[in-house]
Every structure is written in structure tokens, then in C-alpha cells.
Amino acid sequence: MAARIKKAWSSALGSPSLVIDALVHFSKNGTYYLDKIAVNKKEQEATLFYRLSYFAKNATKVYGTGKRSFGCSRF
């Protein structure tokens, strides 16, 4: 799956695969399971919230334009 994702990025950006290899990162612990009946449910929710907060970086968001703020890496 990682190879397919890298190939898609390479195609979309029109960049050689070697450049894309340096830009794409797959974390070692990329999966997180939330146990509904866990004793430490609040702790699990806090950990999940922290992990998901990466996707909501306020510094890169543009508000009020009605547009999505997808960009590209800054070299």
C-alpha cells in the first residue's frame, strides 16, 4: 500500500520517485484502536485526540474564504 501511495503522489506532483520518497512518511505506530469498554477510556480518548490534532494545524488553515487549504510541502 505504501508503494501505491508514493506512486500516486509522484504522479500527482509530476516528480520523480526519489524526490517523493523523501517527502512521504509512514509512522511506525500509524494505527490506533479505541476500546469502548476500557477502564482508562478518558486516557484513551485524550491520546486519540492528541494524535488527531495533527490534522488540525491552526497555523496552516485559511478561514472565511470557503476554500479548502490544501497546499504542498515547502522545500
What CA–CA distances, in Å, run from 63 to 32, 55, 58?
30, 15, 10
> What is the spatial distance between Cα 54 and Cα 19, in angstroms, rounded to a whole number?
23
Q: What is the pTM of this model?
A: 0.45
Residue pLDDT, tens place only, 6-44: 888 888 888 887 777 777 778 788 888 888 887 888 888
What CA–CA distances, in Å, run from 38 to 31, 34, 49, 52?
17, 8, 16, 20
Residue pLDDT, tens place only, 2-12: 888 888 888 88
C-alpha dihedral, 14 to 73 to 71 to 32, nearest 10°:
110
